[in-house]
Amino acid sequence: MTSTMATTQNSRPVHLSVNGKPCQGMAEPRLHLADFLRGELKLTGTHVGCEHGVCGACTVLVDGVSARSCLMLAVQGEGCAITTIEGLAASEHDTHPLQQAFHELHALQCGFCTPGILMSLSELLAANPDPDEDAVRDVLSGHLCRCTGYQNIVAAALRAAQILRERGGHAR
Amino acid sequence: MKAPAVDYVAPRSLDEALQCLAGADNARVLAGGQSLMAMLNMRFAFPDCLVDINRIPELAYLRDEGDSVRIGAMTRQRDVEFSDMVRDRLPILREAILNVGHRQTRNRGTVGGSLCQLDPSAEIPTIAMALDAQVHVASASGTRSLAMADFPAGYMTPALEADEMLVGVSMRPWDPGHGWSFLEFSRRHGDFAIASAAVLLSFGADVRVDRCSITLGGVSTAPVRMAQAEQALLGTKAEAADIERTAALCGAVEASSDAYVPGWYRQRLARVLAGRAITRALERATR
């Protein structure tokens, strides 16, 4: 299979862990992490929106904390542990409680912003299993959704927290 | 958009980073990337080389040095937010940092990056100005420190030579019992503030204001200390008329206009925010 990414003289290998698996690819210094995940590693669940850190669509976890993958170079990912939306559910046949709650409560329409929002919320629920609405809205302030008006997203985040508490599990 | 082609080095020590800067013509230091990466993607910045300082552990620290708290340039805003030492020693910095961008950007954004970006409405430079911070700068030929007041050389331009980089900042905590408040107004939480006010004050044994610092962010080309307003509050019992007079002096600040906000609106915000911040600081101060 030929890569769609232009590999130039300036490209260099990048070794990192993505969703718990060791990965490597080639990146020019100017390539941001979101384009590397999508183009080089073929993980297209991470969406690219504004490319200047405002919309939050490209949010992933870098070493366990949320970050804009458009504001980080792929070469800076060397040695890092990245978690993307593809790594949220335990398996391909399973849904994470966040995904389940978003589905049940209609917390998405077009779905473009959803992967980034789920990654940020997974960070919140890992740190705070019982967040109040203010805490959820504070995290969501870093994301733009132009479909829903956010109400159902807030409701789904709180529902997911409840599901996780009832299971006694953790949001990764 | 996509960033322009650029060289990239990731030095492992400060010395190595300073050598990179000394040997480069048009290099930019890349810290948290929360402004510079956006500027690269939008092609507002065209450096030949990025000197990435993310892998230099000696630049990331929060150190209580007694008289002052020293913060490394590469210290993430997240670490300031969650530091008990900052909460206890520099409560106004903690209050301000909660307004810096969002959880997702504070996780990577740094103290030094924000200081060097020097956006006039940015919270960290405003607090550095309010606390009379000392800024520490290094190059391959040596180190120097300068007052935060002398750090802005112009709009979003720090007084750094091409081979220099910011390595840290020292902020002097106020005595226990002081009052503080940071307030800003922006259209949405996390957006750049249209205006902000940082106020610190303390009372003497005679129950009059014996020390006071008032800084406005967002109104001018850089955060600005309001010396006249500080003088107006000093020596008073900070009663309603004193607060009103002080806030009015803040409202007289020379404010800039842009495509979105006229200067008179920034002045109006400066007056209202200063008044509220003084009132909040008074509630927190021990008399």
Kindly report the CATH number assigned to the domain that includes residue A128. 1.10.150.120
Q: How far is B73 from chain A (nearest CA, A)?
A: 18
* A79 and A144 share one domain: no
CB contact under 8 Å between A75 and B101, yes or no, is no
Hey, is the C-beta of B91 within 8 angstroms of any chain A C-beta? Answer: no
* A50 and A110 share one domain: no
* A125 and A70 share one domain: no
* A125 and A104 share one domain: yes
Give residue B4's pLDDT: 97
| Cβ–Cβ under 8 Å, residues A88 and A24 | no
Which residues of B are less than 8 Å from A14 in CB distance? none
Give residue A8's pLDDT: 76
287 residues of chain B, pLDDT tens digit each: 899 999 999 999 999 999 999 989 899 999 999 999 999 999 999 999 999 999 999 999 999 999 999 999 999 999 999 999 999 999 999 999 999 999 999 999 999 999 999 999 999 999 999 999 999 999 999 999 999 999 999 999 999 999 999 999 999 999 999 999 999 999 988 889 999 999 999 999 999 999 999 999 999 999 999 999 999 999 999 999 999 999 999 999 999 999 999 999 999 999 999 999 999 999 999 99
Instruction: Tell me the sheet residues that pair with A59.
Output: A68
CA pair distance B238, B240, nearest whole angstrom: 7
Task: Give which of B7, B107, B186, B189 to mutate to test A binding, by max A Cβ within 10 Å.
Answer: B107
CA pair distance A44, A31, nearest whole angstrom: 15
* A150 and A111 share one domain: yes
The correct CATH number of B57-171 out of 3.30.465.10, 3.90.1300.10, 3.30.70.20, 3.30.420.40 is 3.30.465.10
Hey, is the C-beta of B57 within 8 angstroms of any chain A C-beta? Answer: no
Give residue B12's pLDDT: 97
* Residue A1, domain member (yes or no): no
- CATH number, domain containing residue A53: 3.10.20.30
Q: A52: nearest CA in chain B?
A: B38
CB contact under 8 Å between A53 and B7, yes or no, is no
Q: Is the ipTM of this complex over 0.90?
A: yes
- Nearest Cβ partner for B107 among A28, A52, A67: A67
In this predicted structure, the answer to whether residue A1 has a pLDDT above a threshold of 70 is: no
CB contact under 8 Å between B107 and A66, yes or no, is yes
* A107 and A77 share one domain: no
Which residues of B are less than 8 Å from A13 in CB distance? none
- Average pLDDT for residues A135-149, to the nearest whole number? 97
Q: B7-52, what's its fold? A: 3.30.43
Q: Which domain holds residue A132?
A: 97-166
The model's pLDDT over A108-127, given as tens digits with 9 standing for 90+, comes to 999 999 999 999 999 999 99
In this predicted structure, the answer to whether residue A170 has a pLDDT above a threshold of 60 is: no
Q: How many CB atoms lie within 10 A of CB A132?
A: 11
DSSP string, A56-85: -TTEEEETTEEEEGGGSBGGGGTT-EEE-G
Q: B179-284, what's its fold? A: Enolase-like; domain 1 (3.30.390)
Hey, is the C-beta of B76 within 8 angstroms of any chain A C-beta? Answer: no
In this predicted structure, the answer to whether residue A80 has a pLDDT above a threshold of 60 is: yes
| Residue finishing a domain among A87, A106, A126 | A87
pTM to 2 decimal places: 0.95
Q: How confident is the model at residue A168 (pLDDT cuts 50, 70, 90)?
A: confident
* A25 and A60 share one domain: yes
CA A89 centroid distance within chain:
12
| Residue finishing a domain among A41, A58, A87 | A87
**Encoded tokens for A58:** 């490209």
- Average pLDDT for residues A141-146, to the nearest whole number? 97
- Nearest Cβ partner for B52 among A32, A76, A123: A76
The conformational region for residue B66 under phi > 0 = left, psi -120 to 50 = alpha, else beta, is left
Q: How far is B222 from chain A (nearest CA, A)?
A: 23
| Cβ–Cβ under 8 Å, residues A147 and A87 | no
